[in-house]
C-alpha cells in the first residue's frame, strides 16, 4: 500500500509541472505576439500591375505602386505591410552563396537566409503550391512574415511578402498569397 501514500505527492508534482508548462506557453505566446490582433480577413479589391494580379483584403490600401511593384499597408498598424514585385531568382540565390540553377524551394530558403543574416528573421516552414510556386513563413523582427515565389521564366519570378505584428495576421496573408496570379 506504499503507492497509495505517494499518490498525493505525484499529483502535486504533476499539477506543479502543468502550471509551469502553462506559464511557459503563456510567456512564449505573449513574446511571439506584439501589436494589435488582425481584424477579420475579407477579400476586397483586385489589384493588377505588370505581370500579376492580387486581391487586397479589406482594410488594406495601396501605399505605393510603380511600373512593376505594389506596396500595401493596413490602417490598424504600421507593422502590417505587403509587397509584390518581380524577383531575379538567380541573383537572390547567388547573393546567399548558392549556385544557379536550383529549385524554387532553394530560392525561398535563400530569401530567408539573407533576411536572417542580421538576426532580424528566422525561417519557420515551407510548402509547395500546385502551380509550382513556394510559400514560406517565419518570424521577422518582432512579428511574422509570409512569403510566396511564383517562377515566371528563366530566372524571373514574382515574389510577395506579407508582414504582420503577430500570427493573427495570417488570414490576411492567406488572402494576398492565395490570390496572387500571373497575368500575360
Residue-wise pLDDT for 38-60, tens only, equals: 999 999 999 999 999 999 999 99
pLDDT band at residue 33 under the 50/70/90 scheme:
low
> Do 120 and 166 share a domain, yes or no?
yes
108 and 17 fall within a common domain:
no
pLDDT for the residue numbered 31: 40
Contact 144, 128 (CB under 8 A): no
Q: What is the mean predicted confidence (pLDDT) over 76-94?
A: 97
Q: Tell me the percentage of the chain whose pLDDT exceeds 70.
A: 82
The grid coordinates listed for 37 are 490582433
Instruction: Kindly state whether residue 98 falls inside one of the protein's structural domains.
Output: yes
Query: For residue 38, is it within any domain?
Result: no
Mean pLDDT of 100-127: 96
Q: Which residues contact 15 (CB under 8 A, 6 or more apart)?
A: none
Domain that holds residue 162: 43-182
Tell me, yes or no, whether 84 and 138 share the same domain.
yes
Give the pLDDT band of residue 16 (cuts 50, 70, 90): very low
When divided into structural domains, the chain yields a total of: 2
Residue 79: inside a domain: yes
Same domain, 27 and 48: no
Rounded to two decimals, the pTM is 0.82
48 lies in the same domain as 116: yes
Q: What is the CATH number of the domain that holds 64?
A: 3.40.1000.10
% helix, strand, coil for the chain, step of 5: 35, 40, 25
- Residue at 37 is within a domain: no
The per-residue pLDDT for 22 is 36
Q: Mark whether 74 and 19 lie in a shared domain.
A: no
Amino acid at each position: 500500500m506504499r503507492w497509495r501514500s505517494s499518490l498525493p505527492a505525484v499529483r502535486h508534482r504533476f499539477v506543479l509541472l502543468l502550471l509551469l508548462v502553462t506559464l511557459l506557453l503563456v510567456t512564449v505566446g505573449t513574446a511571439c505576439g506584439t501589436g494589435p490582433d488582425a481584424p477579420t480577413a475579407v477579400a476586397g479589391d483586385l489589384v493588377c500591375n505588370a505581370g500579376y494580379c492580387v486581391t487586397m483584403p479589406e482594410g488594406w490600401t495601396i501605399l505605393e505602386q510603380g511600373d512593376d511593384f505594389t506596396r500595401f499597408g493596413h490602417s490598424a498598424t504600421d507593422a502590417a505591410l505587403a509587397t509584390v514585385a518581380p524577383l531575379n531568382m538567380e541573383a537572390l540565390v547567388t547573393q546567399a552563396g548558392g549556385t544557379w540553377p536550383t529549385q524554387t524551394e532553394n530560392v525561398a530558403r535563400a530569401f530567408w537566409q539573407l533576411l536572417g543574416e542580421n538576426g532580424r528573421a528566422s525561417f519557420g516552414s515551407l510548402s509547395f503550391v500546385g502551380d509550382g510556386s513556394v510559400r514560406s513563413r517565419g518570424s521577422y523582427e518582432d512579428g511574422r512574415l509570409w512569403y510566396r515565389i511564383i517562377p515566371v521564366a528563366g530566372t524571373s519570378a514574382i515574389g510577395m511578402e506579407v508582414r504582420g505584428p503577430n500570427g493573427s495576421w495570417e488570414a490576411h496573408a492567406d488572402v494576398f498569397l492565395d490570390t496572387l496570379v500571373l497575368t500575360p
